[in-house]
Structure formats: C-alpha cells, structure tokens
A and B are shown apart, each in its own frame.
Chain A
Amino acid sequence: MPSDAVTAAAAGAQASDPPDIAGLPDIGRREAGGWLVPAAAAAVVAVLPFLVSPYAQDLIVRMAIVAIFALSLELLVGATGLVSLGHAAFLGIGAYAAVLGSGDSGAPLYVLLPLAVGGAALYAAFVGAFSLRTRGVYFIMVTLAFAQLAYFVVHDTKAGGGSDGIFLYVKPVLQVGGTTLLDLGERLHLYYAVLAALVGTYAFIALLLRSRFGHALDGIRVNEQRMRAAGFSTTPYKLAAFIVAGGLAGLAGFLLAVKDGAVNPELLSWHESGAVLLMLILGGIGSLRGAVIGAVAFTLLKELFQSEALVGPLASHWQLTLGLTIIAFVAALPRGLIGLGARLRGAARG
C-alpha cells in the first residue's frame, strides 16, 4: 500500500500536479487505528462507573489526571525534543491556584479553571523565556532550578500553608441561571469532567501535532539548524510549546486539587517531575498513546507496590520495587510499552 502511494505521488509530481501526501509516510507519527483506538478506550472508560467500585473509580480518575500531566510533557519531550525536569512546577501552580483562588468561601469553576491554567502558563512563559536560551543538559538543569524555586516559595511561605499544604474547602461548581450543571464535589460529576478533560487534552495535542505548528515542532526536534536555515525563528515556537505544555499541566493540577481536596508542596517537587518523565519513558516517547499508557501503568504499579495486602512488608519500600520494575520494563522494552504492540504484531506476521 505505501508503495502505491509513493508511485502515485511521483506520477503526480512529474505531471507538475500537487501530489497528495495523505497516503504517504510523512512524519512517522501515525498510529495504528487512527482515532478509533483512543475513542474506543474513552467509551470503555465512560461506562466503567456502572461496573466498578468507588475505589476503582477513584483510581481511574487519578490515572486520567496523571495522563493529562504526562500528555502535556509529551508535547515538550516527544514532539519538540525539550527534556524538562521541572514540569511538576506547573502542575503544582495549577493546583495551588485552584485552592488559593477558592479561598474559604469558594469560587465558580469558570474563574478557578482559567486561573489555574493561566497561572501555570504564565509561569511557563517566564521559565521558558530563560531556559530556552540553553540546550540539552543545561536546559534540564535550568528547568529543574526554576521548579525548585517554585517549590521553596510554596514550601516556605505562609500563604500556601507552608510544608503542610492547604485544604480546598469548597469544591468548584458550574451554575447557569440557578441550576447546577457541574458539581465537582460529586463523584460522578468529577469522573466525567476528568474524562472529558483527558479526551480534550489528547484531541487538542493530536490536532496541534498534525498542524503546521506541530510539523514545525517535529522539524525543530529533528534538526533545529535546518529549520533556522529555512527561515523559522525557532525560539518562539519552542516557547509556545512550553507555554501550552505548562497550561495543560496546570489543568492537571487543578483537577488533582479538586479530586484530593488538598494541596501540598510535594506536588511541585522534583520527584514528581522525575516521575512524569519516567511515565513517558515507560510508555514510549514520541507517542500520545504511549504517554497515556505510561501514566496508567506507572499509577497502577505504584498502587500495587504500596498495597500492604498485595506485597506485605515490601509496601513501605515501594520506591525500591517500583524503581526495579521500571528498570526491568525499560531494559526489556526500550521503545516503551507502546512498542510492545508493534513487536507483537510483527511476531504474529512473521
């Protein structure tokens, strides 16, 4: 099938007609099944609340929020080639913005959500403006430094409750003309709001990646020098990706604060930044599905190794067991869990 498309394109080019590249392998980001697989997965998750326990629902909500966080970093790492080790700062700022904006008496959703996303995006613009002057390992260290800066500001100031964190007293509500459309204090409302946020984030990033903007990010990742020689001012592109990624991380932070009803400085810590990078590696860098699968797998593994009922006294050493498991996964599947499917299909064929 690809060879047909190639011949057709070649014939088109010779006839000086613009060839149709829809069927061509253009940038290697196409994933088997197109929209079908993620849409089917979302549909399954949508009916799960009728089948599983509240505990499982709670776990699914957590996984979905973490998946949004991982997707936001995938836009930087997988698409643009910017490895940030400070991404948790934006998660934390989104979460704190939601709680501090809510105060003692609460605030409507249409205020808190833009506040969380906008606050995170604003800090991303600030961090990006400085960190994008550096490259490679320096970029990693500068993003880490800015995240630590945010961590200590939150950790050491009274406004955010210091090291203990702070509670979200009133869950945000969306009301129109006296009727409550969405009450994030209700389990099912939160469940579907988080699912919608995940679907929206996934679709938005997928849309970005297939647009000219996304192709430009791909070009910057592969060969920034060539992009500049062609006439792209690459820094504004990278900054835009950094701000969008920060804003989406802020969305994840907002949802996490609403779900847990509390925030603490550990949300901004470098452990969280490292964990979300691990999720991408675990799932497979360069794939949106990989980011979601990595987030789900990481959260499940963490839950498993923290459960005393399942692993006994090892539960208190979950970091060790989780770490070893991830090392084993990465050694066995260097292209991540997403590479497993391709490998199985290959084995079935040949």
Chain B
Amino acid sequence: MADALLQGKGLGKRFGGLAAVDAVSIELHVGQIHAVIGTNGAGKSTLVHMLSGEMAPSAGSVRFAGHDVTRWAQPRRARAGLGRSYQRTTIFPEFSALENCRLAAQARAPRPWAVWERAANDRAGIAEAARALDAAGLAGEAGRIAGTLSHGGKRQLEIAMCLATQPRALLLDEPLAGMGAEETGRMLALLDRLKATHAILLVEHDMDAVFRVADRITVMVDGQVIASDAPDVIRSDPAVQLAYLGDAHDEPASKP
C-alpha cells in the first residue's frame, strides 16, 4: 500500500499520573475508512485531539502528507488539509447552512485585509459551500438557519463544513451519535462515497455501523491499542471479544 496520508507514531498523552493514551500508532490511507473503537475513556477522543492538533502529545509524532506536523497548531494542519468533526455538534447555529459552509471555505482564501469586499459576494466560497452541502446531502437546505435543522441535519452540516475546507483527511468523532436508523444509513452512504478521495478516521460507538463501513478497525482499551486489523479478523479476535466486543455486539448499539 502507498504511504499513509496521516500517520501517528507512538503517540502518548499524560494528564498528571494518568496515561490517557499510551504508545498508540495509527495510519490513515486515502480510500480507507479506519475505525477506532473502544469503551468510554479508552482515549479515542484524546487520540483525535492529538492528530488534529488541538492537544500536544506528551510523546510520539504526527506526520501528514509528508510533513512532520507534530508541532503545527490546529489551524495550520487544517489549512494543509486535515479536517475534523466533533462529538458535540459545533456549527454556527445562527447562520444559514450555506454561510456555515462558506465561512469554513473562507479559511482557504481568507483575504482579511480586503475590507471593501462583501463576504456575501465571495463567489468561489459560495460555490465551494454549495458543493459541500450537495455532497453532504443538504443541497435543499442552503438557506435554512443552521440551528433549525434536525439533529441529523446538523451532523450532516458538520460534515459539509469539513468538506468545504477541501480536506484530504477527515477525523470524524462519533458522527452517528444520536442519529436514527434512516439518518445513519444516509451518513454511512456518504462516508462510503467520501472514502474514494479522502482518508477517513471514524470514532464510533455504533458497532453495526462500524462493521458495515470500516476497512480497518483499531480497538483501544485504557489508552492502548489491543488490536488493529481488518473487520473480520477483529470480529473473531478473542482478546477483543473479551475486552470489549462481547457485550456490545450481542445487543446492537442503535441509540434512539
């Protein structure tokens, strides 16, 4: 396989005496959805924070597209093509869906000094935003105030805002949280389309969904990786079953 687009090597994060993440290595490739599963407190979100640049690792390094980005702040990594979504929806609830995405797209062409230009005339940004909304299945909601979208719509908008920045890698932290079956189906279809051109990291609790779309699964327990392999191998790994999958997989984790 070609070189990894995003590569975390020996990543560790200590909070005082507690090792939230310990010696975790992970690779993302274009064309692949790499799922990270694990119980609450396993360190999944901390791992995403270190990859996205919101948290400096205590140990290890992060490489992205051939650069060592370990010391890059999040905005710089984002401009280089590393997009992320959050577990708790983070959109601009008072702006229209289109403006949410246009503003995200603006990060690529910020022109802050051009104070005589109206943001509303940002043709390229609007076109990019419309494309992103379309890709995320929100083409019909461009003018809606984001705060009035359904829960699933807001999650889709969060992905659309990611796409509007033209990322090459996507770090998605529980994009399915709180979604119904139909919304989940739409989101998984979207992820499946996106993986052709993006490297995707998917942190998710919904095991059915993970096994439906993931090409590779990494299992974390207490901040450490206990297994990382193809879904079929993970499913039959006794250590994984013992530590985590056993209960969760018997009762499908579809939430209301």
Q: Which residues of A contact B (CB under 8 A)?
A: 2, 5-6, 9-10, 12-14, 16, 18-19, 21-22, 24-28, 207-208, 210-216, 218-219, 222-223, 225-234, 237, 240
Contact = CB atoms under 8 A, between A and B. Distances in A.
Chain A, interface SS category: helix
Contact of A28 (B52, B54, B94): B94
Given A13-B133, A26-B96, A231-B108, A212 B143 contact: no
B115 A27 contact: no
A2 B144 CA distance: 10
B119 to A, nearest CB: 4
Contacts of A237: 112
16 contacts: A2-B143, A9-B143, A13-B133, A19-B126, A21-B120, A26-B99, A210-B118, A212-B114, A213-B114, A226-B90, A230-B165, A231-B78, A231-B79, A231-B108, A232-B75, A232-B110
B212 interface: no
A9 B123 contact: no
B65 to A, nearest CB: 14
B99 A9 contact: no
Contacts of A215: 99, 103, 106, 119
Interface stretch (B8-16, B134-142, B183-191, B238-246): B134-142
B92 interface: yes
Given A211-B118, A212-B122, A21 B99 contact: yes
A228 B78 CA distance: 8
Nearest to A210: B118
Given A231-B108, A240-B112, A211 B119 contact: yes
Interface string B84-113: 101000111111101100111011101111
B139 A13 contact: yes
Given A16-B130, A22-B120, 12 more contacts: A5-B143, A10-B139, A14-B139, A24-B99, A25-B143, A211-B117, A218-B92, A222-B95, A226-B104, A229-B90, A231-B79, A232-B106
A226 B102 CA distance: 13
B74 interface: yes
A48 to B, nearest CB: 31
Contact of B142 (A13, A22, A27, A211): A13
B107 A231 contact: yes
B193 to A, nearest CB: 16
Nearest to B121: A22
B56 to A, nearest CB: 14
Contact of B119 (A212, A231, A240): A212
Contacts of B119: 26, 210-212, 214-215
A27 B143 contact: no
Given A208-B115, A216-B110, A233-B76, A21 B96 contact: yes
A215 B119 CA distance: 7
Nearest to B123: A18
A156 B35 CA distance: 64
Given A19-B98, A26-B96, A228-B78, A210 B120 contact: yes
Given A25-B145, A210-B119, A233 B83 contact: no
A67 to B, nearest CB: 21
Contacts of B140: 10, 13-14
Given A10-B143, A208-B115, A226-B91, A18 B126 contact: yes
Nearest to B116: A207
B131 interface: yes
A240 to B, nearest CB: 7
B4 interface: no
A219 B103 contact: yes
Contacts of A9: 98, 142-143
Contacts of B142: 6, 9-10, 13, 19, 21, 24
Contact of A230 (B95, B120, B126, B161): B161
A226 B92 contact: yes
A26 B74 CA distance: 27
Residue of B98, B120, B161, B164 with most chain A CB atoms under a 10 A cut-off:
B120
B127 interface: yes
Residue of B90, B111, B112, B131 with most chain A CB atoms under a 10 A cut-off:
B112
Contacts of B115: 207-208, 211, 213-214
A232 B74 CA distance: 9
A22 B119 CA distance: 10
B73 interface: yes
A226 B96 CA distance: 15
Contacts of A219: 92, 103
A238 to B, nearest CB: 12
A26 B102 CA distance: 10
B87 to A, nearest CB: 12
Contacts of A21: 96, 98-99, 102, 120, 126, 142-143
Contact of A16 (B117, B118, B134): B134
Nearest to A23: B143
A225 B112 CA distance: 19
Contacts of A24: 96, 98-99, 142-143
Nearest to B103: A219
